[in-house]
Amino acid sequence: MLSEEESEKIKEKIISHIEENFPEEQKSNAINQIKSMNNEQLENFLEKNNLIKTDSEGSSRNIEMGNQECVFCAIASDKIKSVRIGENEKAIAVLEINPISQGHFIVIPKKHTDKAPKEALELAKEISKKIQKKFSPKSMEISKSKLFGHEVINILPVYSDETFDSKRKSATIEELESIKEELEKKSQKISKPKTEKIKEFLWLPKRIP
């Protein structure tokens, strides 16, 4: 297991790589993804992507930034823990671990691609409707972004004046699971009590000719 010191140094190296090689508009989200990983997630990510190399005695680790699986592919294949709130044949929807607002989520194509398939947008619309119904935001903002050469769809519920540039906060898995539970709760229909129709009989005197 990586020590805290090793983990911090590795994150610094990966973040440095992102800052040097990523487009400006993509840096923030990518850096947040790396920062949000705990030691176990980070080590698992590094090993799965062949980024970490240990010497013959197992005492030294070196990080190599090469052609590796991206963070989003790792999330789609469950190598990195996430909270899924929807899925179809071509994409998954997960709650953002560094959300701007309640219900902030991203849709990730299962296959590494620089252009999200139509099924990804369909899933984004489907989950957006659920969030709209459950949490009643004023609107749902949709934005595509490409990180690690993998296009994803970001969906932001707007309650006041939030934008994709608004401040993010770190959410725990427990907090995200709680939001998932709320989304999965079926709204209970309040049934109105049945009222029996009461026939009113009006007595009238017989007609006298």
* pLDDT tens track for 112-124: 888 999 999 999 9
Nearest residue to 75 (alpha-carbon basis) of 39, 121, 106: 106
Region at 29 (left for phi over 0; alpha for psi -120 to 50; beta for the rest): alpha
Q: Under CATH, which architecture does the 82-184 domain have?
A: 2-Layer Sandwich (3.30)
pLDDT of residue 60: 41
Partnered with residue 62 across adjacent β-strands are: 53
Q: Is the pLDDT of residue 59 over 60?
A: no
- How high does pLDDT run on average in the chain? 79
Q: Comparing 35-49, 151-165, 173-187, which segment has the lowest mean pLDDT?
A: 35-49
Q: How remote is the C-alpha of 176 from its chain's centroid?
A: 9
Rounded average pLDDT over 138-154 = 87
Q: Is the pLDDT of residue 126 over 90?
A: yes
Q: Which residue has the higher pLDDT, 99 or 209?
A: 99
Q: Comparing 25-29, 96-100, 196-200, which segment has the lowest mean pLDDT?
A: 196-200
pTM check: above 0.75: no
CATH 3.30.428.10 domain range(s) in the chain: 82-184
Query: Is the CB of residue 171 less than 8 Å from the CB of residue 133?
Result: no
